[in-house]
Structure 1
Amino acid sequence: MKKLILLSILSLILMPSIVGEKFGDVNEDGSINIIDVVYLFKNRNLDYEVGDINCDNSINIIDVVYLFKHYDQMREPIVFAEHFKLEPHWDNGYCVVIDSEDNKFVLLEDGGTNPNIPDAKVINAPVGKIATIFYCPTVSTADILKDASCYDSIKGTTGYVIGYSPELTTRYNEGKIADIGKSSSINYETVLNISPDIVFLGDWSSHDTMEEQLVKNGLTVSRFYTYDEPTYMGRIEWIKFSAAFWGEDKYNKTENYFQDAWKARNDILRKVYAENDYPSVTLFSWSKYKDAPGVYGSAHYYNKMANNFKGEYVFNDIPGTSFQYLDKETFYERAMDSDVCIMRHYYSNEITTKEELFGNYSTANFDKFKSLQNGRFYITKPKYYVYEAIDPAGYMMDYAKMLHPELFGGDDDLKYHNKIQ
């Protein structure tokens, strides 16, 4: 699918400001301000990852103007995630965190100065005992940091989460971590026996009931709406939220990790910048129980990532981020002729061949799909969603290779997806 792109200085100035905390510090003095604008104006011979502010694969006056317009926003510590706020004051020994339900916490390190915020709950950092219901963001952040002290603080989580983390599995077998039940129904007695300093819950309606019950029993609850983030980088930025509860050192390490993911994302954008061939792409799942395809709205981070990487999501006219099932006729009308299909496979078996695909989804008529005939049909590997959280650079590169294999050395070495043969 071809698109004609008219780029002007004005359009680049008005493009959304989505930048990392250190991005824009072109003179590397530790701050972002008008001095950086002047520096960039005088020095254009910088590395792209430093000076290419608008990620158009060049450094010129447009980047200078863009930096001038947005350097105030670039100084903000949280610029991707929309469902939490974070105000680090580590120089004074504390950090303020506001979760997805506007619960406010002061994470106070030993010797730190308590800011005495009236509506904030003070929690000692690093936190001593945690119970959490999902893999992301708390356990995934521990798996990124691979620090024993982080794992030591996780005293309880659901059974499936324990299975996602090799370290937690080992600790569970050693009796160091409690299985608190399921994401939809926890064992309150087990949680109370842990006596956690904080319990992390997600955005399910059943979690509202859990919060009410836990608070009645005197426990502190925080809500994380990680999967409601409208961008992939926003979803990844929740590692900072979790790390803040473990103190400044862990927070700084996740900040560096996040910056690496941000740079990887920008490298992909630069690579595809001049590409005018937008492959049509269908991103979907298929329920065996409902015998129906399911898709997310165009504002979901999966589909936004495909669009940002110069693909054309075929259901861009479906608004929002919510998941919905489609009738087969509506789905086939667009999906069968799309250039690329990326299917999320939620089951534990791995699918690599057409025969396995047809055997697992015998009612789906995938044999008629253009993408399967052309070798552009991909399916996720088991537990892909775990790696989506802990290896964002690798996960984004999979998308880049599936959409533009000619630009990224082919699509035969994907990490978290299989190319159906």
Structure 2
Amino acid sequence: MRYLTFFFLLFSFNSCIKKQETTSTDYTLQEQEVTYASGFSIKTFDTYKKIEVSSPWPESKKSLTYILYPKGTQRPTIAEKAIFIPVPIEKTIITSSTDIPILEYLEVEGSLVGFPNTNYITSEKTRRLIEKGQVKELGSERDLNTEIVLELDPDVVIGFSTTGDTKAYDLIGKTGIPVVMNGSWTEQHPLGRAEWIKFIAAFYGKEQKADSIFTTIAQEYQKVKQNAISVTKKPTVLSGDMFKDVWYAPGGHSFLAQMYKDAQTNYLWKNTDKTGSIALSFESALDTAQNADIWFSSGSANSLAQLASKNHNYSLFDAYKNKKVYSPTLKKGLNGGVLYYELGPMRPDLILKDIVKIAHPELLKNYDLYFFEKLN
């Protein structure tokens, strides 16, 4: 029944007269510079802006192009294959909670009309919009409720894919609703991930605001990084956890490994060449990191006892014995969403401060941990 309804709505949607584009007399195409991010580029021309996403998902073989042009003006005539979007947009659907802080920083959270798995949103500001019924539940990001998407009729759907499977988005795109892919999570540099605020800002005409926000975050990150250079001792770091029979740790070219480096710690898998996670046996992890000074855990345990109950061998690590285990997953929203996963990509400066505070507490004496908490 759901799919019969969808095809009826699809027919009705495509049969309707296209709504008139409103003229935005105060909208101008603003220049943007991308410094740290490698997955997208922005070029500004006289009558349009071209955004190219070169890394929408890992090992992508193609780039995606979006042409943004002011509402009320003629659509540019461009030969290359692209998705054309009149801007600024007024209604959007996003599918990753990491984009929630971006909308809020840009002060356009009111444009959000739909989101999958709304329970996992931690932001109190956006939760209030959900409670008021302004943000509709769309199910799962892998199986978006297309009927509701069509009813909401957003100007843009901002999606993401971990595998390159975009079937759900392709179906929406066929209705005439533009779908753009956000590849921020593929970035290797922490500031590269945060810089994707400029990508989303372009659709709202908020380029200057995004530049200002990102510049502040980048400057704060670099300030903390420079401050840490003065240390003489680099504590060794164990990172990750067991999942079933495999220990997953950040690869040596991952954004977390970069943060451990910038915090002047000695990450024990820094020489691996992976940009994502590396898979290890427990024996291998123990052999390498049994004597590590600090353990940054990514699991859900909220105490050392609970951690050991998940795997009694965890107690073999010196970091466990010395109560030097820290987790970023304990601070949660009302319905269980993790603050770190939602806000962390936008605020690498705060993550770096946390790591520096833990590794070199003498450097940030008056700073309280923002994401991480110590397991006792």
- TM-score over 0.5 for the pair: yes
When residues 170 and 76 of structure 1 are mapped into structure 2, their CA distance, relative to the original with a 3 A threshold, is: closer
Match of 2:70 in 1: 109
TM-score by length of 1: 0.71
Match of 2:321 in 1: 373
Aligned partner (choices 270, 289, 308) of residue 358 of structure 1: 308
Kindly state the Cα deviation for residue 296 of structure 1 after the two structures are TM-superposed.
2.3
What's the secondary structure of 2:362's corresponding residue? coil
Point out where structure 2 has 5 or more consecutive residues left out of the alignment: 1-30, 57-61, 332-337
**Would you say 1:228 and 2:186 are equivalent positions?**
yes
Amino acid at match of 1:294: Y
What's the secondary structure of 2:141's corresponding residue? coil
Query: Residue 184 of structure 1 contacts residue 206 of structure 1 at CA under 8 Å; is this kept in 2?
Result: no
**Would you say 1:78 and 2:30 are equivalent positions?**
no
Aligned partner (choices 134, 145, 160) of residue 202 of structure 1: 160
TM-score by length of 2: 0.79
When residues 284 and 364 of structure 1 are mapped into structure 2, their CA distance, relative to the original with a 3 A threshold, is: farther
**Would you say 1:135 and 2:97 are equivalent positions?**
yes
Q: Distance in 1 between matches of 2:71 and 2:276?
A: 42
**Would you say 1:244 and 2:202 are equivalent positions?**
yes
Q: What are the Cα deviations for residues 390-412 of structure 1, in whole angstroms up to 9, with x where unaligned?
A: 4332222001112222322288x
Kindly state the Cα deviation for residue 125 of structure 1 after the two structures are TM-superposed.
2.1
Aligned partner (choices 360, 369, 372) of residue 417 of structure 1: 372
When residues 108 and 151 of structure 1 are mapped into structure 2, their CA distance, relative to the original with a 3 A threshold, is: same
Kindly state the Cα deviation for residue 102 of structure 1 after the two structures are TM-superposed.
2.7
Query: Residue 49 of structure 2 contacts residue 68 of structure 2 at CA under 8 Å; is this kept in 1?
Result: yes
**Would you say 1:254 and 2:254 are equivalent positions?**
no
Q: Distance in 2 between matches of 1:256 and 1:393?
A: 15
User: 1:3-402 maps to which residues of 2 (within 5 A)?
Assistant: 77-88=33-44, 94-99=48-53, 100=56, 102-110=63-71, 116-119=77-80, 120-137=82-99, 139-145=100-106, 147=107, 150-160=108-118, 163-205=121-163, 207-247=165-205, 250-287=206-243, 290-345=244-299, 347=300, 351=302, 353-359=303-309, 361=310, 363-380=311-328, 381-382=330-331, 383=338, 384-402=340-358
* Residues 77-86 or 170-179, more deviating: 170-179
Count of paired positions: 330
Q: Which has the higher contact order (CA 8 A, sep 6+)?
A: 2
* Residues 159-168 or 303-312, more deviating: 159-168
Q: Distance in 2 between matches of 1:113 and 1:217?
A: 21
Q: Distance in 2 between matches of 1:229 and 1:269?
A: 19
Amino acid at match of 2:307: L
Identity across the alignment (%): 22
When residues 283 and 112 of structure 1 are mapped into structure 2, their CA distance, relative to the original with a 3 A threshold, is: farther
Q: Distance in 2 between matches of 1:184 and 1:76?
A: 32
Q: Distance in 1 between matches of 2:364 and 2:165?
A: 42
Query: Residue 225 of structure 2 contacts residue 263 of structure 2 at CA under 8 Å; is this kept in 1?
Result: yes
Query: Residue 335 of structure 1 contacts residue 341 of structure 1 at CA under 8 Å; is this kept in 2?
Result: no
What's the secondary structure of 2:90's corresponding residue? coil
